[in-house]
Structure 1
Amino acid sequence: MKRMIGIVLIGLVSISLCAQSTKKIRELEKQHAALQKQISDSETLLQSTKKDVKSQLDNLAVLLGQIADRKQYIETIEKDVQVIQNEIDRLKTDLKTLERELADKKKKYEKSVMYMYKNKSIQEKLMFVFSADNLSQMYRRMRYVREYADYQRRQGKEVQRKQREVSDKQKTLLASRDAKADMLKQGEAEKLKLEEQEKERKALLSALQKKQGAIQREIKEKRRSANRLNAEIDRLIEIEIEATRKRKEAEARRKAEAERKRKEAQKETIAESKKAAIPESKVEVYKVDNEDLRLSNVFEKNKGRLPMPITGAYAIVGHYGKYQVKGLRNVRLDNKGIDVKGKEGAQARVIFDGEVSAIFQYNGLSNVLVRHGNYISVYCNLSSVQVKKGSVLKTKDIIGQIHTDTNGNTVLHFQLRKETAKLNPEIWLAK
């Protein structure tokens, strides 16, 4: 009898996966692919073969950026492995529950099949019905035979459904285990690459540690240049803020004058209406949207999701704020933005909808300020620009070509301000 039940069920087993679990795995794999591409792309960035301090410091910055990205990727893998392990544990629990339910359903189904098997002939069913003592009992027996047959069919369908659930859960569990194994392999491969990069970093630091005097001179020169650049950016932002203030004041005066005229016109209309005994009509109030406020609010909602201000492969080689260069004595940097290295030919692109508020030259290179409501993004070190003051830009529109120096470095200096307040761009950008 059990063999007969098994034959009935074999053709009804479905091969499908649990949608929620497989979707989660696909999302994790998609995220890993994006991170892995970013790391692979950043490794293609050229490093100078020159041995002077500037070139070696630039190489160290690139290497530190790549190491930071790889460490972040390994941490992401480890977290996702734990997420999948939790999913596997949950799937195991669900599978045990389903298997118990399936066993119970099969047992009940087997009993109903055994009963029907013993009373399988039409003749036996008819004898059971016609052996009733009266018509009322005959009717009840007929209904019983019909309802029991329906019950048996329902039991069979329930067993089939539960069998499909068990099969789905088993497939999902296997897929989760495979995904976990793949992630563990990725993690181990990334750790080996990280070890190689750490060796390269130590060798580079060893060479630089012998050139402390030259390093200090290079850092001092960079600081002087950065201070002059920041002073010019601050000056232009102050001008822009003052221009915006005057524009808002003028707009406020215009609105006040328009409101005054509206009220006067309304009074005249009321007076005339009273004379003509015509009911007072409603005059629509003219409202002006505060575009700066609207744009600022939308900009803030995209915090952490704004695109990188550079096209193609990139590596962050200079971080925001004051920090010590790891491994080098007395080498402290103070960055008002971030430095992003790209491939030769990389272009600067705007991070959000806005309007070009200023373009200025410094050391023979162009620098562009773009206003996004109360926020201002700054793009420095451009060899050429393809926008002009007043240009209205959309997110990812190209601003200009990033300069490539004699050592082959293509580095965009990027800043983000809220009026005069300096912000950490890395918190706002999607990486």
Structure 2
Amino acid sequence: MNRALAFILVHFLFAFFVSGQSKEDLQQQKQKAYDDLKLTRDLMEKTSAKRSSSVKQLRLLQNGINARAGLISTMESELNLMDRSIQETEVNIGQLTSDNKKNKEEYARLIYFAYRNHTEYEKLMYILAGATISQSYQRYKYLKYISAYRVRKANEIDSLIVELDLQKDQLNLFRNEKLLALEEKEVEQEKLLGQRSRRRSMVNDLKRKESELRKEISEKERITKALESRIREIIEEEARKANSANIYAALTPEQELLGKDFRKNKGKLPWPVEQGIVTGAYGKNEVPGLRGSSVQNNGIDITSSPGTEVRAVFEGQVTKVFAILGANYTVLIRHGEFLSVYQNLVNVRVKTGDRVLTKEGLGEAFTDEKENVASVHFEVWQERTILNPEEWISK
């Protein structure tokens, strides 16, 4: 095999390996988007069966729109990757075709030389025609080399033809995959247009429910303030017991280590539910249907299926279990200097002082009969500072 062929094969295999990795990443992203869309669709069906347009339904729909837009973006990246693969394969085919042509031309010259010296007598005359014994010997070696070289060239031509056929098959495969991907993208784009149309319809429907929406906002704000106030009271109470302005200054070595481990897992903590959709982001959330209205969220609201178990995101100790009117039970877990907060639980299975492990069940997310879906509110605190939980849990 000549150097050009070896280079082409190495280049192709390297490009294919790198593309394979990228393709695998894109496939994983696509699968996650499909999973999110399926969960969103299931939850939307549950809420639609119980009531007409609601803020939660609209946020579920928006999550579906975001997931589908992300899916289409991933498909576009996949198509770009396919285009690069097609271009690389076309370049390889061109190089292989050129090499094959050169090899055939060289092989033709070898055949012509062999034809002129095809008998043993002609070979002997060619050797004896040397001016010196040394030159005759070199001619003898040259004839042997030409014979072996001709066989090698014939093998190279055969190998190039096989590789060329493989490359052409690969090119056809890439082109077929691209056609299927384009069709898939068109389908998803049509679905996205349908979702956006439905969103506009739901927003208009909610605008006619202004009074009901304002009551929901007021109740949400009351629960948020009550939870924050209760958590701060608990922190101050612990500070008094520790006789320190900073309760965490009195942590045991074990608690300090737990806090460091919690910090190391930022962005990698498991979700407080096995499957769920974030329907209330951290920070200010605009209320659909009420222009200029927003609600402050100190954590994230996660919507899931009825009966969903709520679990600890990290090992720690239960600091407090308490109830808030209209928001069921809240569980606070200490992880050194950090606190994780789980609100809107029923059937709570832990009590103050219990030590829990990562993913250990704490209770059940409350299912709203009006919505027919379960929801849990989740927060992360560091000392007296409220953090963004989405930066702590895995993506």
* TM value normalised by structure 1: 0.74
Q: Return 5+ residue gaps in structure 1 as ranges.
A: 1-15, 252-287
Of 338, 343, 366 in structure 2, the residue corresponding to residue 380 of structure 1 is 343
**Counterpart residue type for residue 413 of structure 1:** H
> Is residue 317 of structure 2 the alignment partner of residue 366 of structure 1?
no
* Percent of paired sites with the same residue: 27
Take 1:363 and 1:150, find their aligned partners in 2: how far apart are those partners? 91
Residue 381 (structure 1) shift: 1.6
> Is residue 11 of structure 2 the alignment partner of residue 47 of structure 1?
no
Q: Deviations over 1:74-123 (max 9, x none)?
A: 22222332333344334433433343233323332333244334434455
- 137-146 or 83-92, which moves further after superposition? 83-92
What's the counterpart of residue 36 of structure 2? 38
CA root-mean-square deviation: 3.3
Q: Deviations over 1:174-203 (max 9, x none)?
A: 333333333322222222222222232222
Take 2:65 and 2:51, find their aligned partners in 1: how far apart are those partners? 21
What's the counterpart of residue 172 of structure 2? 174
When residues 221 and 194 of structure 1 are mapped into structure 2, their CA distance, relative to the original with a 3 A threshold, is same
Take 2:110 and 2:339, find their aligned partners in 1: how far apart are those partners? 76
Of 268, 273, 276 in structure 2, the residue corresponding to residue 310 of structure 1 is 273
Q: Is the 8 A contact 2:269 2:393 kept in 1?
A: yes
**Counterpart residue type for residue 47 of structure 2:** Q
Take 2:263 and 2:116, find their aligned partners in 1: how far apart are those partners? 76
What's the counterpart of residue 266 of structure 1? none
Take 1:91 and 1:363, find their aligned partners in 2: how far apart are those partners? 64
Q: Deviations over 1:35-74 (max 9, x none)?
A: 212211221111144557xx72232222222222222222
Take 1:216 and 1:159, find their aligned partners in 2: how far apart are those partners? 79
Q: 1:75-224 residue pairs with structure 2 within 5 A?
A: 75-122=73-120, 124-129=122-127, 132=130, 135-224=133-222
Take 2:86 and 2:319, find their aligned partners in 1: how far apart are those partners? 56
Of 261, 266, 273 in structure 2, the residue corresponding to residue 295 of structure 1 is 261
SS in 2 for 1:341: strand
Q: Is the 8 A contact 1:299 1:372 kept in 2?
A: no
- 218-227 or 99-108, which moves further after superposition? 99-108
Take 1:237 and 1:96, find their aligned partners in 2: how far apart are those partners? 72
**Counterpart residue type for residue 339 of structure 1:** D
What is the count of residue pairs matched by the alignment?
Answer: 371
Take 1:398 and 1:125, find their aligned partners in 2: how far apart are those partners? 90
Q: Is the 8 A contact 2:283 2:296 kept in 1?
A: yes
What's the counterpart of residue 304 of structure 2? 342
SS in 2 for 1:403: strand
SS in 2 for 1:311: coil
What's the counterpart of residue 375 of structure 2? 411
**Counterpart residue type for residue 148 of structure 1:** I
What's the counterpart of residue 248 of structure 2? 244
**Counterpart residue type for residue 211 of structure 2:** G
SS in 1 for 2:208: helix
Take 2:293 and 2:208, find their aligned partners in 1: how far apart are those partners? 13
When residues 367 and 112 of structure 1 are mapped into structure 2, their CA distance, relative to the original with a 3 A threshold, is farther
Take 1:397 and 1:110, find their aligned partners in 2: how far apart are those partners? 76
What's the counterpart of residue 362 of structure 2? 399
* TM value normalised by structure 2: 0.80
Take 1:119 and 1:153, find their aligned partners in 2: how far apart are those partners? 16
Take 1:226 and 1:319, find their aligned partners in 2: how far apart are those partners? 14
Take 2:158 and 2:87, find their aligned partners in 1: how far apart are those partners? 25
Residue 325 (structure 1) shift: 2.8
